[in-house]
């Protein structure tokens, strides 16, 4: 199981939003690349980066910051505003290892199929759910599409990785929605990265146990709990290594 420490960028700074609300912002660092360097020093191989300005604007807004993060030497998984082929091309050209498509995945299966044909496993789809329904456009719009239904369609298109975020738990430090994550894992063959709610090391241990039952659980994204120092990244990486054994 892979631990994906998260960096959310807004106005060029490292921030966290509570349940995706722009008016519930906490700034944790002025230089996101320095945060990425710390993650690398602690042993992480990946970093999950979200361009929040891009998610709200519909196109990437912080690519210079993303480039600086990629230069640190971590594998970068990037989401936020990647809604055109040109935007995806630019992101991958900066050294991003995997792009995350959210809003456009709910709007156009043809777009996702095109990206999968062009980039294969470098393309992931982010499915953000509120009460089981897909939310888009930086979580400000809720569709009538069920999260599991969208996941099955993406799986059918050959998407290798899905990132499933339970909005109700994101940034709340209340623990992940394990039932929702297990339902997603059993619905698809694609790898699934869990996101939302991790508040303590026991939450990651519970996901590691779930990974023993559902082998397609690829990993977990951890954000606010790291910044609030409720968990330590090197400890979580140790839990993930133990699970693999």
**Residues contacting 227, CB < 8 A, separation 6+:** 16, 26, 28
Q: Quick check: 39 pLDDT over 90?
A: yes
Q: pLDDT tens digits for 78-137?
A: 999 999 999 999 999 999 999 999 989 989 999 999 999 999 999 999 998 887 888 876
Q: How far apart are CA 120 and CA 113, in angstroms?
A: 10
CB 223 within 8 A of CB 39: no
Domains defined for the chain, CATH in brackets: 2-244 (3.20.20.70)
pTM reported for the whole predicted model: 0.93
The residue among 221, 196, 183, 190 whose CA lies nearest residue 124 is 190
Active-site residues: which are they?
Answer: 8, 128
């Amino acid at each position: 199981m892979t631990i994906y420490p998260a960096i959310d960028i807004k106005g060029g700074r490292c921030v966290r939003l509570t349940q995706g609300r722009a008016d519930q912002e906490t700034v944790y660092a002025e230089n996101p690349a320095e945060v990425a360097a710390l993650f690398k020093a602690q042993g992480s191989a990946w970093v999950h980066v979200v361009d929040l300005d891009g998610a709200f604007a519909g196109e990437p807004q912080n690519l210079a910051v993303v480039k600086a993060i990629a230069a640190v030497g971590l594998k970068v998984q990037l989401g936020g505003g990647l809604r055109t082929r040109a935007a995806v091309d630019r992101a991958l050209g900066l050294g991003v290892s995997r792009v995350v498509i959210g809003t456009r995945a709910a709007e156009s299966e043809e777009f996702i199929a095109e990206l999968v044909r062009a980039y294969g496993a470098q393309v992931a789809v982010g499915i953000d759910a509120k009460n089981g329904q897909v939310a888009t456009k930086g979580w400000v719009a809720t569709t009538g599409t069920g999260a599991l239904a969208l996941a099955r369609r993406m799986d059918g298109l050959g998407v290798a990785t899905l990132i499933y975020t339970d909005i109700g738990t994101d940034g709340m430090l209340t623990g992940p929605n394990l039932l929702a994550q297990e339902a997603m894992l059993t619905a698809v063959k694609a790898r699934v990265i869990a996101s939302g709610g991790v508040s303590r090391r026991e939450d990651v241990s519970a996901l590691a146990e779930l990974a023993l039952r559902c082998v397609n659980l690829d990993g977990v994204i951890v954000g606010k709990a790291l910044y609030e120092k409720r968990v330590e990244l090197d400890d979580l990486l140790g839990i993930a290594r133990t699970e693999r054994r």
